[in-house]
């Protein structure tokens, strides 16, 4: 039996933050491993165990919204802004790629919207871009979307399926900017934000530990999937003062 974890309030915000981030990653790893087990009919029961584990984490996570971005305003977590910004930069570029695909599906590969919106944009290179070039990319996409031409084109019924993907892209840009644009917190605000982080991390502790046990059992007959899944990778240790590049 695994020992129970100490109360989150006895830990630093960094550890609570890492627990919430870990739950996000674990849910994704479980989903990917469920898909791989689905290719092995003889392991249907084991796939179901993993899906139960994933669902428990998903329920415990609930609607976190932008919590992992907002808590970076805490002084103890400020060194993580660059790292979180890089994660959100990738998420924003994923959204830009999905938008491109949705436009192609709705209006075809020769859609003039694609030409105008993505002209001279290299999304692959932007994966490695520093903060300033990526900010310029976000600003340029916003500028193009605000043009009367694109507004008129996107208002056409042909492009109605594009609206949800466009909303996701704009939200991704806003969340990325929030990492770097937050004002200092008042003491009361900092305490409330820290308590919110601790509460979420505490809520996730048991489902995550249960998920690890279920995954351990489920993958006993599929050892070849154990290491590639990443589920059992040990979290890296770092000092709260360490800065991300």
Tens-place pLDDT, residues 192-232: 999 999 999 999 999 999 999 999 999 999 999 999 999 99
Give the per-residue pLDDT at 78. Answer: 85
The verdict on residue 201 lying in a domain is yes
Q: What angle do CA 15, 69, 118 make, to 5 degrees?
A: 135
- 166 and 192, same domain (yes or no): no
Let me know whether 114 and 171 are in one domain.
yes
pLDDT tens digits for range 126-160: 999 999 999 999 999 999 999 999 999 999 999 99
CA distance 12 to 215: 28
199 lies in the same domain as 166: no
CA distance 56 to 49: 11
DSSP 177-229: HHHHHPPPPPHHHHHHHHHHHHHHHHHHHHHHHHHHHHHHHHTTT-HHHHHHH
Query: Which domain, by its residues, includes 162?
Result: 85-181
Residues 169, 91 within the same domain:
yes
Output the CA angle 44-46-49, nearest 5 degrees. 115
Q: Tell whether 101 and 160 lie within a shared domain.
A: yes
Q: How many structural domains comprise the chain? A: 2
Q: What is the pLDDT of residue 156?
A: 94
In this structure, is residue 122 part of a structural domain?
A: yes
Q: Say if 224 falls within a structural domain.
A: yes
Supply the DSSP symbol for 74: S
The answer to whether residue 234 sits within a structural domain is no
Task: Flag whether 236 is in a domain.
Answer: no
Looking at the structure, do residues 56 and 93 belong to the same domain, yes or no?
no
Summarised one tens digit per residue, pLDDT across range 79-122 is 888 888 999 999 999 999 999 999 999 999 899 999 999 999 99
Measured at the CA of 65, the angle between CA 123 and CA 56, to 5 degrees, comes to 105
Question: Is position 116 within any domain?
Answer: yes
Does residue 5 register a pLDDT over 80? no
pLDDT per residue over 161-201, tens digit each? 999 999 999 999 998 998 887 677 888 989 999 999 999 99
Q: Is residue 26 part of a domain?
A: yes
Predicted confidence at residue 66, as pLDDT, reads 83
């Amino acid at each position: 039996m695994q020992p129970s974890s100490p109360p989150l309030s006895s830990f630093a915000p960094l550890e609570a933050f890492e627990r919430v981030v870990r739950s996000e990653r674990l849910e994704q790893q479980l989903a990917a491993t469920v898909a791989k087990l689905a290719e092995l009919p003889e392991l249907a029961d084991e796939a179901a165990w993993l899906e139960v584990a994933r669902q428990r984490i998903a329920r415990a996570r609930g609607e976190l919204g932008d919590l992992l971005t907002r808590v970076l305003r805490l002084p103890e977590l400020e060194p993580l802004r660059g790292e979180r910004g890089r994660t959100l930069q990738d998420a924003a570029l994923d959204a830009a790629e999905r938008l491109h695909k949705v436009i192609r599906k709705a209006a075809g590969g020769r859609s003039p919207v694609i030409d105008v919106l993505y002209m001279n944009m290299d999304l692959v290179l932007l994966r490695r871009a520093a903060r300033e070039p990526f900010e310029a990319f976000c600003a340029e996409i916003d500028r193009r979307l605000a043009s009367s031409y694109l507004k008129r084109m996107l208002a056409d019924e042909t492009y109605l399926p594009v609206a949800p993907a466009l909303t996701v892209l704009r939200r991704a840009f806003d969340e990325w900017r929030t990492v770097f644009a937050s004002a200092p917190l008042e003491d009361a605000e900092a305490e409330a934000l820290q308590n919110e982080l601790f509460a979420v991390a505490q809520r996730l502790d048991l489902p995550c530990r249960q998920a690890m046990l279920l995954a351990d059992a489920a993958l006993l007959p599929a050892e070849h999937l154990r290491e590639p899944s990443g589920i059992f990778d040990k979290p890296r240790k770092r000092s709260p003062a360490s800065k991300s590049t």
